[in-house]
Amino acid sequence: MAIEEVMADGYRTFVGKVSLEFKDANRTNLTIVVMARNSDGTNTTYTASQDFYSFINVPSFISDALIYNHRYEVVLSMDDMRTIYQDRIMDINTSDKTLERIVTDKLHRMGIHGCNVTAEISDVGIYYKVEVFEDSRPSTSVLTLLTLPVNGIDNEDRERLETVHNAQIYITGV
C-alpha cells in the first residue's frame, strides 16, 4: 500500500526495493523501501521492516542467496510496483501442485475443457505471474494467476525462468 501513500503525497516518480536479510537460523528480516524523487532532486523514503521466523515456497535462487550471501534484494521500477499494486487483490498460489495441474484445475472450474493452452510465466520479482492463452485464441488471455512455486516444469524452462525471468509452457488436452 506504500504506492498509494507515495501517490497521495503527490509523487509521480518512485522506485522500490525489497530486501531479505538472514539474521540467524530462526529469523529473517524483510524490508520494503519506496523512494520518491522530490522536485529539488532529493529523495523521500518510505520504509517498512519486519522480522519473520519462517518463509515457505521461496524460489530457489532467493533461498540460495540467503544461504550463501545472507541477503537478497530486488529493485522494483515504477512499472513493477504498479503491476504488484494491481495484482494485490489476486490470491497467490502456494500449493505444491504442478503448474499444469493448477492451470488445468482453474480452467475446468471456469468450464474450459478439451483444448490446448500456452502458459506464459513471468518473474515479477516477488512472485510469478502466469497468463494462459487458448491455442484457438492466442491473443486473448483466458486466465491470469499468481504463484510462488512453479513446480513440474522441465529443467530448460526452469533455467530460462531463473535467468531470463520468463518462460512458456504448452499444456495439451486441458
pLDDT digits (tens, 9 = 90+) for 6-32: 888 888 888 999 999 999 888 999 999
Does residue 151 have a pLDDT over 80?
Answer: yes
Q: How many residues does the chain have?
A: 174
Of 35-49, 55-69, 136-150, minimum mean pLDDT range:
55-69
Question: How many Å apart are CA 144 and CA 131, to the nearest integer?
Answer: 5
| Contact assessment for residue 31 and residue 95, using Cβ atoms and an 8 Å cutoff | no
pLDDT of residue 119: 96
Does residue 156 have a pLDDT over 90?
Answer: yes
Residues 6+ apart with CB under 8 A from 34: 2, 3, 6, 14, 15, 16, 45, 46, 47, 81
Does residue 57 have a pLDDT over 90?
Answer: no
Does residue 88 have a pLDDT over 80?
Answer: yes
pLDDT of residue 1: 60
Q: What is the pLDDT of residues 111-120, one digit of tens each?
A: 999 899 999 9
Which alpha helices (H) appear in the chain, and where do they start and end? 2-8, 60-69, 78-87, 99-109, 155-163
Map grid coordinates 503448474 to a residue: 99
